[in-house]
Amino acid sequence: MVISAKTKVCAIIGDPVEHSLSPVMHNAAFKELGLNLVYVAFTVTSTELKTAVLGTKTLGLKGLNVTMPHKNAVINYLDEVDTTAKNIGAVNTILNNQGKLIGYNTDGAGAMVALQENGVYPEEKKMLLIGAGGAAKAIAYQAAQDVDELVILNRTAKKAKQLAQMLQSCDAKVTGTALSSNVLKDELSTTDILVNATSVGMHPSIDCSPVPSDLLRSDLCVMDIIYNPLKTRLLKDAQSAGATVVSGLEMLIYQGAVAIEIWTNCPAPVAVMRTAALNQLKKQGVQC
Ligand code: ATR
């Protein structure tokens, strides 16, 4: 595309952002859609967050993605926050709607769409979610709208219980407990969808898995939020057991797809985004 005086800008802000896949993924999408939009990355420290966000208005940026460590704090500088993001307490996408900054959280929706696009439908299913951090919270909030039962297991029991408590008003039965071998074995035996939302198995600890391989079955769907490596130990074990597997890259792509739809009202070209993200991962030396 030709960058002109009319080109609009989207960006990701965070610290660090150098390894983000979002710029290549979103630029590929904008090109495919024929939009006069570019996407760049800005390193923004916590002390700079307020001025960076307000600068979005001054410079007329079209939208932002927000990543670590600003997903919570950024809420303080927005004009409006949609209900999902407000409930999760974290924003990963901002729309600049003619000078009004509106915050959204597309992480949970991204995870659920990733499951559906891979042929896994959460309705009437039991989901076991390992983890109770920021990503787990976004997934749990969305999943609790769709599944019949959600079990949250976390190393720190208190966080699992708090998250489950937060979701008591949802239709799904939601419980939160400490992650232990016995509970994991018991709960997994009646689970349909297993999601790892912890950092266990992430590079460089690629031989670690949060779930022993002998607990995995062919009738399970297993999703990992990690995409470095693309096939985590958990996903490799799940695949060997004959389970359906969904990688963390799928969640990344679909959270980005939802963001594109918020900024442009266009359906996102996910195949193009996947190719661009995969190529970038390979360039970064990630095991794909
Ligand atoms: P994110 O924003 O990516 O979710 P986070 O908020 O720091 O990151 O959450 C990390 C999650 O991984 C937490 O659920 C954490 O468990 P604790 O709440 O007990 O800290 C989980 N986690 C990290 N390392 C772990 C490990 N070695 N074993 C089990 N869980 C782990």
183 and 177 Cβ atoms separated by less than 8 Å? yes
Going residue by residue through the chain (288 aa), what tens digit of pLDDT does each one get? 899 999 999 999 999 999 999 999 999 999 999 999 999 999 999 999 999 999 999 999 999 999 999 999 999 999 999 999 999 999 999 999 999 999 999 999 999 999 999 999 999 999 999 999 999 999 999 999 999 999 999 999 999 999 999 999 999 999 999 999 999 999 999 999 999 999 999 999 999 999 999 999 999 999 999 999 999 999 999 999 999 999 999 999 999 999 999 999 999 999 999 999 999 999 999 988
Tell me the catalytic residues.
71
Phi, psi angle pair for 184, to nearest 5°: -60, -45
Show the DSSP H helices in the chain as ranges: 22-33, 49-59, 83-88, 107-117, 134-146, 157-166, 181-188, 233-240, 248-264, 270-283
- CB of 10 within 8 A of CB of 263? yes
- Ligand 1 centre to CA of 198 (Å) is 5
Q: Which CATH architecture has domain 8-105+250-283?
A: 3-Layer(aba) Sandwich (3.40)
Rounded Cα distance between 53 and 108, Å, is: 23
Domain 8-105+250-283 and domain 108-246 have a common topology:
yes
Residues flanking ligand 1, CB < 6 Å: 131-136, 154-156, 159, 197-200
Virtual CA dihedral for 135, 251, 139, 170, nearest 10 degrees? 160
Whether omega before 204 lies within 30 degrees of 0, making that bond cis, reads: yes
Can you state the percent helix, strand and coil of the chain, rounding each to 5?
A: 40, 20, 40
Task: Write the single-letter amino acid at 282.
Answer: K
The alpha carbon of 52 and the centre of ligand 1 are apart by a number of angstroms equal to 28
CATH dotted code for 108-246: 3.40.50.720
Residues facing residue 130 across a β-bridge: 153, 196
State residue 110's pLDDT score.
97
* For ligand 1, atom 8: residue with the closest CA: 133
Is the torsion defined by CA of 216, 192, 178, 160 positive or negative? positive
Domain spans of the chain? 8-105+250-283, 108-246
d(CA 222, CA 219): 10
In whole angstroms, give the CA distance from residue 163 to residue 35. 40
Which residue minimizes the CA distance to atom 31 of ligand 1?
198
Nearest CA to ligand 1 atom 3: 135
pLDDT at 230: 96
What sign has the CA pseudo-torsion 237, 161, 108, 100? negative
Question: SS3 for 174?
Answer: strand
Cα–Cα distance, 140 to 134 (Å, whole number): 10
Strand order in the sheet with 244-246: 173-178, 149-154, 126-130, 193-196, 221-224, 244-246
Residue 3 has a CB neighbour count (10 Å cut-off) of: 9
Show the tokens assigned to 112: 């659920």
Collapsed DSSP state (helix, strand, coil) of residue 202: coil
Q: Which residue of 196, 198, 207 sits with most ligand 1 atoms within 8 Å of its CB, as the best mutation to test the pocket?
A: 198
What's the gap in Å between 111 CA and the centre of ligand 1?
17
